[in-house]
Structure 1
Amino acid sequence: MKEAARLKIIEINPKTNRLEIDIMEQKGRFAVVVCDGKARLTELPAYGETKIITHQGKVKRVKFDEGEDF
């Protein structure tokens, strides 16, 4: 069974080329990644690393490495 995508698409207003995010609507910690006129939002894990992998100046993927304190 495939997991739901963790990167949510954020619409960019084509008339103004502006990105609007209601930060009060978001829960907890999050990051916004922008590349080539596309924007994605992802929630950050409570414990772990979130790596943004680039290739030739463009975002290739976002990797999550999660864990918990013992």
Structure 2
Amino acid sequence: MRLKDILIREDQLPYSTKEEDKPFIIVYSNGKTKMSYLPDHGETKIITHQGQVKRVRFDEGEEFK
């Protein structure tokens, strides 16, 4: 299993998660930490190269009903 549970308190995050109840990701690489909310419909890919994050790619869509 690659994903591990981590303990993060609300007061340790650089933003408030109380504003929106949406899933999000936190990515840390090479001394930088970035956060993003996940799209409602789509894929989010984290692209790495030589052990470092190079880009985060969002492929968003919308259901056609």
Q: TM-score, normalised by structure 2?
A: 0.69
- Please state how far the C-alpha of 1:37 moved relative to its aligned partner: 1.7
* 4+ long deviations beyond 4 Å: none
CA distance in 1, matches of 2:60, 2:51: 26
Pairwise CA RMSD: 1.2
Structure 1's unaligned 5+ residue stretches are: 1-19
**1:61 is aligned to 2:48:** no
- Please state how far the C-alpha of 1:69 moved relative to its aligned partner: 1.3
Structure 2's unaligned 5+ residue stretches are: 1-11
Alignment partner of 1:46: what SS? coil
Name the one with the larger strand percent: 1
Flag the structure with more relative contact order, 1 or 2, with Cα contacts below 8 A and sequence separation at least 6: 1
Name the one with the larger helix percent: 2
Which residue of 21, 26, 29 maps to 1:32? 26
Aligned residue number for residue 45 of structure 1: 39
- Paired-residue identity, %: 54
Q: TM-score, normalised by structure 1?
A: 0.64
